[in-house]
Structure 1
Amino acid sequence: MSAVPNIVAREDRDGYVLIRLSGEVDLSWSAEVRRAVLDALAVGHPVGIDLSAVSYIDSSGIAALVEGFQNARTRSGRFVLVAVSDAVRAVLELARLDRVFVLVPSVDAVVA
């Protein structure tokens, strides 16, 4: 069990939307993550997904991120992963998705 609670928090910022995730992104709540990502993209602003507090992500969590990426790409929108934790980075690298997603080191780089 994760020491950090599973949280999906949305922040509408000046010119972009930030989704902060924490805990373990697995099948038990990846549908909630997916919905938050797609809802954020519907606004039409750039979207950043803060993964700094994610301690674990499984294939369903990765699928939610991939769907967000594809959705943004079809709309010519910006979709970035922010401050990716080591645990998430390892999964992205294993699947070679670190070469697909735009990874930025901080929230300040979401619209850069």
Structure 2
Amino acid sequence: MALKLNRHEEEGIQVLRVSGEVDLYSSPELRIAVQTLLDRAKDRVHIDLSGVAYMDSSGVATLVEGMRNARACDVAFVLYAPSESVMKVLTLSRLDSVFDIIETG
């Protein structure tokens, strides 16, 4: 399943909706989209991961890089509604306690 990215603004928050698979081949595209989002952000970004079917370590590394870049810009970096498969990867890597995560449902 190909990576799909949709950037928009909701109530003053920059949102990146991610769907499909995030792997070694697609993570560079995600990296660029996250940086573009941070460049436009005032104080908060949400990375909506509800549509992500698969994420490997390169995808996780891209999120960690985004979080570090956000902190350097004093911008809150929030993972919004991670899919079950993404939460599993974050939990196994013990990053679920590092990221700000908003779960739904």
Of 18, 22, 33, the match for 1:36: 33
Aligned residue number for residue 56 of structure 1:
54
Secondary structure of residue in 2 paired with 1:97: coil
Distance 1:33 1:75 in 2: 19
Of 73, 76, 81, the match for 1:75: 73
| Unmatched 5+ stretches in structure 1 | 107-112
| Unmatched 5+ stretches in structure 2 | none
Aligned residue number for residue 4 of structure 2:
7
Distance 1:94 1:49 in 2: 20
Aligned residue number for residue 64 of structure 2:
66
Aligned residue number for residue 24 of structure 1:
21
Distance 1:103 1:14 in 2: 18
Aligned residue number for residue 95 of structure 1:
93
Distance 1:105 1:97 in 2: 15
Q: Would you say how many aligned residue pairs link Structure 1 and Structure 2?
A: 103
Runs of 4+ in 1 over 2 A off after TM superposition: none
What is the RMSD of the two structures over their aligned residues, measured on CA atoms?
1.1
Secondary structure of residue in 1 paired with 2:96: helix
CA deviations on 1:82-102 (whole Å, 9 max, x unpaired) are 001110000000110000000
Q: How many percent identity over aligned positions?
A: 47
Q: Calculate the TM-score normalised by the size of structure 1.
A: 0.86
Distance 1:44 1:65 in 2: 16
